[in-house]
Amino acid sequence: MILLHVFNDLSSLPLAKCCEGRIEMIEHKIVYREFPPGSLLPSERKLGEQLKVNRMTIVRVYEELLAAGLIERKQGSGTRVSTSKWGMLHSGTTNWKSYVEGGTFLPMLPLIKRIKQEANSVKDIYDLAGGDLPTDLSPSSLLVSFLKDITEVDTGFEHVQGQLLLRETIAHYMKELYNINATSSSIIVTTGIQQSIYLITQCLLSPGDAIAIESPSYIYSFPLFQSTGLRVFGLPVDENGINPEDIITLYRKHRIKFIFLNPTYQNPTRTVLSENRWKRIAEIAAELNIPISEGDSYNPYLL
């Protein structure tokens, strides 16, 4: 599963040697939807500080992007990526910013604190939530002998979004297999489908929002939706998958805001969504601005 998300901080951009290079970098991120339509860009002063360049250089960069129709500038509202249907921006673009700002689920901090207190008060327990070995089972002496000649040891995660090489490989496959332009910065690697769904519910949805999932579906076994106050509605599955027109019906009745699909060898029916239905679903989602989460682990192109 791939989640596209908004970057309002350009601190990860490498320093360019000229103004044209900086224009190309920002343009690249806009075209590849790292900066979706309507997203807020840093001020001239802030961007200049991040890139360690003179503010007038950033002024020129923004002027060039404005002339190209890539950004919009309004007094009091800052600099934003253009929302008009210019060039490569097709119709039906999802307003991700509204989704990100809508996420209101908060962690159950009192409950988490209580669990930690109880765990610390009990001896001889194993933490099944993590993947680390208990200290008494860790081969400490063996590790010391292996690492004694190594001066630098990376014992943590390389990046919060996942290993860079893996994300670059995924971006390459997205282009080769699906003709989807994505960059490593637009990809988040998760531990599995449940973590991906958790991120969606926490960041893109709010209590009371309506979502659609296939019926039957293994996702019904996940307590995430009910525990976070989402309203779940089913899309009946036949021999060719879901009926696209059912999406329109649910939208009119319940204003669904998200669709979760398992199109290839759907679990548990094993059906494969037909090409004609996939095209129609894509059209409907674009018209209604409804994001789709696609669980596609059995796609033959990915095996």
Q: Give pLDDT tens digits for 208-221.
A: 889 999 998 888 76
Mean pLDDT of the residues in the chain: 77
Q: Output the pLDDT for position 62.
A: 86
Confidence band for 153, pLDDT divided at 50, 70 and 90 = low
Show Cβ contacts of residue 221 under 8 Å, excluding neighbours closer than 6 positions.
none
Burial class from Cβ neighbours inside 10 Å (0-12, 13-18, 19+) for residue 170 reads middle
CA-CA distance, 167 to 25, in Å (whole number)? Answer: 19
Confidence band for 139, pLDDT divided at 50, 70 and 90 = confident
Q: What percentage of the chain exceeds 70 in pLDDT?
A: 73
The pLDDT of 127-144, averaged and rounded, is 71
Asked whether the predicted pLDDT for residue 167 surpasses 80, the reply is: yes
Q: Which long-range contacts (CB under 8 A, 24 or more apart) does 64-72 make?
A: 64/19, 64/23, 65/23, 65/26, 65/27, 68/27, 70/26, 70/27, 70/30, 71/30, 71/41
Integer-rounded Cα Rg, in Å, for the chain is: 23
The pLDDT of 16-40, averaged and rounded, is 71
Confidence band for 246, pLDDT divided at 50, 70 and 90 = very high
Burial class from Cβ neighbours inside 10 Å (0-12, 13-18, 19+) for residue 137 reads exposed
Q: Output the pLDDT for position 219.
A: 80
Count of beta carbons in the 10 Å neighbourhood of residue 300: 8
Confidence band for 255, pLDDT divided at 50, 70 and 90 = very high
Asked whether the predicted pLDDT for residue 283 surpasses 80, the reply is: yes
Residues 79-117 have pLDDT tens digits of 888 876 444 444 445 656 556 555 556 555 666 677 777
**Sign of the alpha-carbon dihedral angle for 73, 79, 83, 84:** positive
180: left (phi over 0), alpha (psi -120 to 50) or beta: beta
Q: Output the pLDDT for position 43.
A: 86
Tokens of 234: 């089913």
The pLDDT of 107-135, averaged and rounded, is 69
Q: Output the pLDDT for position 106.
A: 58
Q: Does residue 264 contact residue 296 with C-beta atoms inside 8 Å?
A: yes
Prior bond to 263 cis, omega within 30? no
Scan for tokens 């690697």, then name that residue: 189
